[in-house]
Amino acid sequence: MKVLGINGSPRKGGNTDILLDNALKGAQNNGARVEKIILNDLEFSPCQECENMPDDGFCIIEDDMQTIYRKVEEADAIILASPIFFGSLSAQTKMMIDRFQCVWRAKYILRKQVLGKRKIGAFISVEGSKRKDFFDNAISIVKNFFVTINADYKEELFCFGIDQKGAILKHPELLKKAFMLGAKL
């Protein structure tokens, strides 16, 4: 099994990154091959809603998103990790998801399966306040993304009230939950 972790946080070594690493360790501990993408390290533009997009379900913009499409197709499970910014996903995460518009169009408008292989999806998110409702908007976007890429939303881990870089390390129970999330996949 191949598990792809996608880190949408702009902060390397931050809470989202640490939790994703723990989840990937859990998956690897159970025999999965794991790979992690850090969106902030890639160069890709936001969706341009191209009028001349081809009918093959792929984006015509040549940038690092081409690698993400390929890795998402190859994966058996996806762990998407993003902090909550302004009550939703980080800009990096949302920008990546928006670039799957070409896949959405192929699937729902053209009735073509571009990413036909079924996958398992998991979502990890961290936010600084104590408002659990801030996760609701992010969850709906992630669920739409997972449906588009043929991933069944199976696992989630939400950590609220965690703000300072590395503060998650003071919460071993959450680190263990992340590990177990990966192990379940």
Name residue 178's amino acid.
A
pLDDT digits (tens, 9 = 90+) for 106-118: 999 999 988 878 9
Quote the pLDDT of residue 159: 97
Tell me how far apart the alpha carbons of residues 127 and 96 are, in angstroms, rounded to a whole number. 20
Dig out the tokens for 16 from the structure. Answer: 């989202």
Containing structural domain, residue 95: 2-41+54-184
Question: If pLDDT is split at 50, 70 and 90, which confidence band does 9 have?
Answer: very high
Looking at the domain assignment, is residue 75 inside a domain? yes
Quote the pLDDT of residue 113: 86
Looking at the domain assignment, is residue 142 inside a domain? yes
pTM of the model: 0.96
Looking at the domain assignment, is residue 77 inside a domain? yes
Looking at the domain assignment, is residue 48 inside a domain? no
Closest C-alpha to 82, from 181, 158, 161, 150: 158
Question: If pLDDT is split at 50, 70 and 90, which confidence band does 10 have?
Answer: very high
Question: If pLDDT is split at 50, 70 and 90, which confidence band does 179 have?
Answer: very high
Looking at the domain assignment, is residue 74 inside a domain? yes
Looking at the domain assignment, is residue 121 inside a domain? yes
Closest C-alpha to 23, from 119, 139, 122, 94: 122
Kindly give, in sequence order, each residue whose CB lies less than 8 Å from that of residue 148, ignoring residues fewer than 6 positions away.
100, 103, 104, 107, 115
Quote the pLDDT of residue 58: 85
Number of folded domains that form the chain: 1
pLDDT digits (tens, 9 = 90+) for 108-157: 999 998 887 899 999 999 999 988 888 999 999 999 999 999 999 999 99
Looking at the domain assignment, is residue 106 inside a domain? yes
Query: For residue 166, what is the domain's CATH number?
Result: 3.40.50.360
pLDDT digits (tens, 9 = 90+) for 32-88: 999 999 999 999 999 998 888 888 888 999 999 999 999 999 999 999 999 999 999
Looking at the domain assignment, is residue 49 inside a domain? no
Tell me how far apart the alpha carbons of residues 31 and 161 are, in angstroms, rounded to a whole number. 33
Quote the pLDDT of residue 57: 85
